[in-house]
Structure 1
Amino acid sequence: MTKPSQPTYFEAQQWASFCLKTAQLPTDSARFLLLGLSQLDQTQLLIHYRELVPAALWAAYQTAIERVVAGEPTQYVLGKAPFFGLSLTVNPAVLIPRVETEELVEWILTDMADEGPLKVLDVGTGSGAIALALKREQPTWQVSASDISQEALTVARANAKRLSLDVDFYHSDLLADVPATAFDVIVSNPPYIATSEKAVMDASVLNYEPEQALFAAHAGLVLYEQLAQTVAQHLTTNGRLYLEFGYHQGAAIQKLFTEALPNATVTLRQDMAGDDRMVRVINH
């Protein structure tokens, strides 16, 4: 398909879709990038479809499509990603929030819907996705978040400020340097991919997303092992730990927390695809 010199919005998106399809990449990135760069919403884009794209926007759009075709994740090219109704700033210091993690947030909100003000901690917050989504949905909750990466905390703090959401952030390796208080809810989506899985992973993830936030030792379980040994002292009586994990790790995760916390109630939960992907540990 010949690249148009001065296209309409419709022609620009058609060209971008063709480029992405030729590169065997999802064509929905064409619309995502055009909406993001133009700062139009879906309805506005439809209204403008037959109008010419301004020259500066067309130049920026071509560059963005070329970066995606070269393998860079669309969210990093645009500098933002959607999560649970929020628009979060993202860059290669943080993982791109996944839709599966929205299911973890939904589980917590459903479980704790009738509870009063709670103390909540998001461990390994990255962009701040989980913490900020919970705070936005439950403004009375006292939400804190931690990460081992100072670069990630910079992104998370900026997201909180831009969204006017009051979350406390701590630089901490898991629970080592968080406040010595008991939390009603601790949630985490820690690194859980075994290094042996690199061979089957998407190149755009390996080449662009932060390795520290992806991979973990002991077949991806080392951070769960550490949490199992330390989390009880940070939870209130009947406090809850919610975790996301890899689709094939459910049995190992259940065994780990059942053995480490014999008085706890350990419940696995499936994602929309039917795979074990989340666990709730209630501390009795």
Structure 2
Amino acid sequence: MTQTVRALMAAGGLPGLEIRMLLGHVLQVSRAWLIAHDDEPLAPQAVARYQELAEQRREGRPMAYLLGRREFMGHEFEVTPAVLIPRPDTELLVEAAIAALDGHARPRVLDLGTGSGAIAVSVALACPGAQVLATDASAAALDVAAANARRLGARVEFCCGDWYQALPADRVFDLIVSNPPYIARGDAHLGQGDLRFEPQAALTDGADGLRALAAIVAGAPARLAPGGQLWMEHGWDQAQAVRGLLAAAGFGGVASLRDLAGIERVSGGSII
């Protein structure tokens, strides 16, 4: 039987918006086209591809991975299962970074654990004079990040390695930012929702959720220029602990920023 957009919508199985998004992706057409041509016969290959994606979505696979993209800070980023899916919460970290760079003509910026490159690329696009370097321990993630930088026209340098070990010995920065793995080992959320399909090494440090945050704080003073700042995203209940790490490492002006839900989501400070 010939399938149409209307027939697939009527068959259901997924929310209507998700059906339209998957069909638009398969057919490479807009939502307006789907509405205007909802009774037009679809090619069998297109129907088969849609049904394949719809089945994966019913199994819980994230829409971002099925579509291969996610919007962040007004830019569309390519995403694959090699990287975390950019989330609106992380835009707070980018906003903090942009604010920290105000008044700097050519600031040096380091993004540790860049993943899709969403943070580094967004900062580079917002601050064209910045010299942005991004690292990740995953070569597959860096491939995604580099592709995003090229496609969006952002000047970002990439290095592969674990935290500061990825950097040349003489590099120092005016700003370090990071959204590291901060979920504790065994946290029930790791087995729920989109997190089930995202790279576990980018979600959990395999310990108490503070190990990566502590390593970044400990290494930052040696990599920051005088007056340089460090800002990190962390879990909903970790702000006090992260502020303690920063203060113990000699940072001044230690503070936490709240997201739209009122949760302390980002913390940082500056080298005195």
Question: TM-score by structure 1 length?
Answer: 0.87
Structure 2 residue 13 is matched with structure 1 residue 19: yes
**Which whole-Å CA distance do the structure 1 matches of 2:109 and 2:211 have between them?**
23
Q: 2:195 aligns with which of 196, 202, 205?
A: 205
**Which whole-Å CA distance do the structure 1 matches of 2:7 and 2:125 have between them?**
38
Deviation at 1:277, TM superposition (A): 0.6
Partners of 2:185 and 2:207 within 8 A in 1: no
Q: 1:222 aligns with which of 207, 211, 218?
A: 211
- Please state whether the residue corresponding to 2:165 is helix, strand or coil: coil
**Residue 233 (structure 1) aligns with:** 222
**Which whole-Å CA distance do the structure 1 matches of 2:80 and 2:239 have between them?**
30
**Which whole-Å CA distance do the structure 1 matches of 2:7 and 2:120 have between them?**
40
**Which whole-Å CA distance do the structure 1 matches of 2:163 and 2:267 have between them?**
17
**Residue 29 (structure 1) aligns with:** 18
For 2:270, give the aligned amino acid.
I
* Change in 2 beyond 3 A, CA 1:256/1:129: same
**Which whole-Å CA distance do the structure 1 matches of 2:119 and 2:222 have between them?**
22
Deviation at 1:67, TM superposition (A): 0.8
Deviation at 1:246, TM superposition (A): 0.6
**Residue 24 (structure 1) aligns with:** none
**Residue 273 (structure 1) aligns with:** 261
**Residue 156 (structure 2) aligns with:** 167
For 1:181, give the aligned amino acid.
R
Deviation at 1:173, TM superposition (A): 0.8
TM alignment of 1:1-284, pairs within 5 A = 5-8=2-5, 10-15=6-11, 18-20=12-14, 28-179=17-168, 180-198=170-188, 201-206=191-196, 208-261=197-250, 263-284=251-272
- Range moving further from structure 2, 267-276 or 111-120: 111-120
Partners of 1:13 and 1:34 within 8 A in 2: no
Deviation at 1:270, TM superposition (A): 0.8
- Structure 1 residues 84-126: Cα deviation after superposition (integer angstroms, max 9, x where no partner): 2222222221111111112211232244344322111110001
Please, which runs of 5 or more residues in structure 2 have no aligned partner? none
- Please state whether the residue corresponding to 1:175 is helix, strand or coil: helix
Q: Quick one: percent identity of the two aligned structures?
A: 35
For 1:19, give the aligned amino acid.
G
* Change in 2 beyond 3 A, CA 1:104/1:50: farther
Instruction: Number of aligned residue pairs: give it.
Output: 271
For 1:145, give the aligned amino acid.
A
Partners of 2:256 and 2:267 within 8 A in 1: yes
- Please state whether the residue corresponding to 2:133 is helix, strand or coil: strand
Please, which runs of 5 or more residues in structure 1 have no aligned partner? 22-26
- Structure 1 residues 38-63: Cα deviation after superposition (integer angstroms, max 9, x where no partner): 33344444444454444433222111
* Change in 2 beyond 3 A, CA 1:272/1:11: farther
> What's the Cα RMSD here?
2.2
